[in-house]
Amino acid sequence: MSMLGTKWKLHGNGKSVRPGEVVRPDERLTWPLTVGIGMQHVVAMFGATFLVPIITGMPPATTLFFSGIGTLLFLVITQGRVPSYLGSSFAFIAPIMASQQQFGVPGALGGVVLAGATLAVVGAVVQKFGAGWINRVMPPIVTGAIVALIGLNLAPAAKANFDQAPVTAFITLAVIIVVSVLFRGMLGRLSILVGVLVGYLVAMIRGEVDFSKVDSAAWVGLPHFQTPEFHLGVVGLFVPVVLVLVAENIGHVKSVSAMTGQNLDGVSGRALLADGAATVLAGLGGGSGTTTYAENIGVMAATKVYSTAAYWVAGVFAVILSFSPKFGELIATVPAGVLGGAATMLYGMIGVLGVKIWVQNRVNFSNSINLTTAAVALIVGIADYTWTIGDLKFTGIALGSAAALVIYHGMKAIAKVRGTVAEPETEDPGPAAASTAAVKAAVKRAPKKRR
């Protein structure tokens, strides 16, 4: 593979993937198939990527443009070793909305740039010294709490949209729930997009969609670019987002490593640096902050195609779509009721992802340090505590994140000096789990019977 990661070997005959095989990042199928898979990646990111600018009032076409550009930049910086699409990050919704109330859209964009620059610096440090220090500073109890409180902090915003058109919102939410369990494969994974489309049709029937701006928009034109302004008051809003982006990117690299059988720890820092650079670029031009996308991991898991060539196609296709103002205005017509239904699911999912981090890492809540860290951080974040110092205003996400870090490390330091916490930080899998693992191992070692 070249330094830019733009040379790929043909996998087999290029037309199929045998059972048990995967198309690695440095391989590709035939170009027609690769183009088709790349467009599938664009569809997979659609629902989530567009919801962020719609909810925050940012231009959808501009966000799509920087999403495509950011993806291409990510592929170049990671030298084509990490297949990923960079879409809008939900972690930016709360700080963007809060900063807009004080400093308008330019102020929010300044916060996006700040978060991206900080993430890029973290990436450079990780590339130089490894990611071990991140796990020490942000153990699972802290990371899970921060991710959870960012999602749950948005609950009032979801309710506000839901209440504007409860019938449309309820139908949207119901379709998302049903589709996620009714269908297998890609359709099931695109349940949010399907729910939004059905909800949109319902809103049209109920007269809740305004097409006036769509009719007047041109078919071809430049996205609406905006420049940022920098205010000290947004620092506390956006810095906690960096912690979430770090967790998302490291998790993405580990997931791809597990699925492809390739050790990608050596490019974890590059992935963070690339996402940071893409977020800075987006903030400088009017887009929302980016992150790696779980939706696209689903596409790779379904197709067994991890070729970065498909992501080059996806990035280019996204950029092309962004040059249609009419398309951008059409996306912007999604009404509040549809957003309320989708947001009820999405914001809750962010909250539960934090809990998932605790479960996967077997966080022990019998340990008083873990219990106190999570308890205080969640209440501060959900209730949206505020603290104003001069021109600086710290809200629930910033204070909750700070509480998680300070309480965990503070209590741990005191407990170490006093020897007062006996409970381990993580739970033992237990004899039942160990027994199950032993049985599975024994079955695997047992000779196969001939039929």
- For 128, 132, 270, the CA distances from 125, given in Å and listed in that order, are 5, 11, 10
- pLDDT digits 0-9 by tens, 256-308: 777 777 777 788 889 999 999 999 999 999 998 988 876 677 677 767 788 89
- Residues 422, 423, 429, 430: is their CA dihedral positive or negative? positive
Per-residue pLDDT of 319-376, as tens digits, reads 998 998 888 788 778 888 888 888 888 788 778 878 888 888 899 998 899 999 999 9
Which two structure tokens, joined as six digits, stand for 363?
A: 């966080």
Question: Tokens 């067994």 belong to which residue?
Answer: 304
How many whole angstroms separate alpha carbon 63 and alpha carbon 59? 6
Q: Helix, strand, or coil here: 25?
A: coil
* Alpha-carbon gap, residue 347 to 93, rounded angstroms: 10
Q: Kindly report the pTM of this predicted structure.
A: 0.73
pLDDT of residue 30: 87
Residue 442: pLDDT above 80? no
Produce one character per residue of 371-406: b if its CB has 16 or more CB atoms within 10 Å, e if not. Answer: ebbbebbbebbbebbeeeeeeebbbbbbbbbbbbbe
- Do 77 and 274 touch, CB atoms closer than 8 A? yes
With vertex at residue 31, the alpha carbon angle to CA 27 and CA 33, rounded to the nearest 5 degrees, is 90
Region 382-389: mean pLDDT is 84
pLDDT in tens, 221-268: 888 899 999 988 888 788 878 877 887 788 778 777 777 777 777 888
pLDDT digits (tens, 9 = 90+) for 98-147: 888 888 999 999 999 999 999 999 999 988 888 777 778 888 898 888 87
φ, ψ of residue 205 to 5 degrees: the values are -60, -35
Measured between alpha carbons, how far is 220 from 216 in angstroms, rounded to an integer?
12
